[in-house]
Amino acid sequence: MIEVDWAEHYRKNHAKTQFKSEKESKNFWDTFSKNYAKNVLNKKNGWVENNIEYLKNEFKIDKNTSILEIGPGPGTYTIPIAKEVNEITVVEQSTGMIDILKNRMKEEEIDNINIINKRWDDFKLDADINPDIVFSSYSLGVDDMESALKKMNNYAEKYCCILTFGTRQAWRAIYNKIGESILEHDPKRKEYGMTYILIYNILYQLGIYADVKISEKPFLQTFENLDEAAEHYLDRFRARGDIKLNNEQYSKIKEILSNELTKTEDSWKFEKNSKEAMMWWKKEQNI
């Protein structure tokens, strides 16, 4: 039986499929940050709170705990976790996300979050930072997954935890339909659609046997109108420099969205259940 080298599989098939360069990735998240924060932070379904409560119990998190977080975005987990721990250091490449996080820190009078403006790929731990836990929530869009996971493990004193997609992204079908309507078919163009399985397989081949918890997760996006929805979905294509739209194409995109989204009295909504994977392991040794 031929054993697949999953780390090499990632490098060949997933690295740089979401964004073609570091600059492209940063530009996208800087542009997309406000839209992303609006949809993520306005969700009041208790999902984040339930996950944090689970992590507190599993990892014995308290006021003596220090955490290193990869790609905190607008602080979806960072802000509530900061209230439970001694210190949290975050590594974030997007200045747009950092601005939102800083504003939230000021509003909630939080001063125990240290922000480092870097990609995880480029980050090196200072000697004075010794995190008990290294944590990532939907943020491992890295060039080399094997190296990223090794770094997580080696930097942690006690535990590592990753939240990621348990199934194909809820919104992926909409992106695909829009892409098919405005882009010429390119057989070399790869879809970014990685789930937890690939990360788990790489961990396994590194000798790390992670626990996995799969949960149903509600997904909701809300837009004032179809134009706002169209701009939201087009941002990802624009970041990659893929599109120049004419009026007919733009109308086609709005038609696609009118079929995929649900019209309410004062908005358009996309609502769908998906699955989230939580993977975690106890640090045994450096690898």
Query: 10-residue block means of pLDDT along the chain (287 residues)?
Result: 87 73 66 66 74 95 97 94 97 93 94 96 89 96 95 97 90 85 58 81 97 90 90 78 79 93 92 92 93
Whole-angstrom CA distances from 244 to 138, 164, 179, 240, 247 are 29, 32, 12, 12, 10
* Residue-level length of the chain: 287
> What's the CA gap between 203 and 153, in Å, rounded?
10
Instruction: Return the pLDDT at 247.
Output: 87
Q: Which residues contact 267 (CB under 8 A, 6 or more apart)?
A: 222, 223, 224, 225
Contact criterion met (CB below 8 Å) for 19 and 85 = no
Instruction: Return the pLDDT at 151.
Output: 97
Instruction: Return the pLDDT at 45.
Output: 61
Instruction: Return the pLDDT at 172.
Output: 82
Q: List, in sequence order, every beta strand (DSSP E) within the chain.
A: 66-70, 87-91, 113-116, 133-137, 159-165, 211-223, 262-263, 268-282
Instruction: Return the pLDDT at 22.
Output: 65
Residue type, 6: W
Instruction: Return the pLDDT at 20.
Output: 59
